[in-house]
Amino acid sequence: MTSGDCPLCALDAAEALWANDQCFVISAEIAGVGTICRVVWREHIREMSALDAAARGAFMDVVFGVEAVLRTLARPAKINLASLGNLVPHLHWHVIPRYLDDAHFPDAIWAPARREAPARSLKDAVLRAALEAGLGG
Ligand SMILES: [Zn+2]
């Protein structure tokens, strides 16, 4: 996969929930889990070790900032941070609020479901405002 056929390169950062010059934040609804955030590096880069230390630090500051926002907003039992990129090898972090009764807990959200889960969702407008407050506009 190159930047030409990459779904993350195709996203418009201007439509993200939050963005700076290096990365942006989007949300996704995961069945059985609820709303998660993804922090996406703007440039099509495959691995964290390809970034210099300053860029890595700046990226992770945003990831941890999103984690803090979701802790306050979603009151999860746990936050999972995941960087896989096996299907879309473009740097992005999943910031995933987890609940004792979500469909997969305590497994990863990509594992087979263990149970039915209550519906959970965060509205984009609420997330956007919380990200602006937490990360700066
Ligand atoms: Zn890409």
Span 98-114, pLDDT tens digits: 999 999 999 999 999 99
CA of 12 to the centre of ligand 1 (A): 12
CA of 14 to the centre of ligand 1 (A): 16
CA of 5 to the centre of ligand 1 (A): 8
Q: Which CATH number does the domain housing residue 46 bear?
A: 3.30.428.10
pTM for this predicted structure = 0.96
Extract the tokens encoding 15: 């439509």
Structural domain count, the chain: 1
pLDDT > 90 fraction of the chain, expressed in percent and rounded: 95
Length of the chain (residues): 137
Extract the tokens encoding 20: 């700076």
CA of 122 to the centre of ligand 1 (A): 26
Average pLDDT, the chain: 96
CA of 93 to the centre of ligand 1 (A): 13
Give the tens place of pLDDT for each residue, 5-51: 999 999 999 999 999 999 999 999 999 999 999 999 999 999 999 99
**Distance between CA 112 and CA 88 in Å, rounded?**
21
CA of 48 to the centre of ligand 1 (A): 14
Work out whether the CA dihedral 97, 103, 108, 109 comes out positive or negative: negative
Task: Quote the crossing angle between the two packed helices 124-135 and 53-74, to the nearest 10°.
Answer: 130
CA of 41 to the centre of ligand 1 (A): 9
Q: Which domain holds residue 77?
A: 3-135
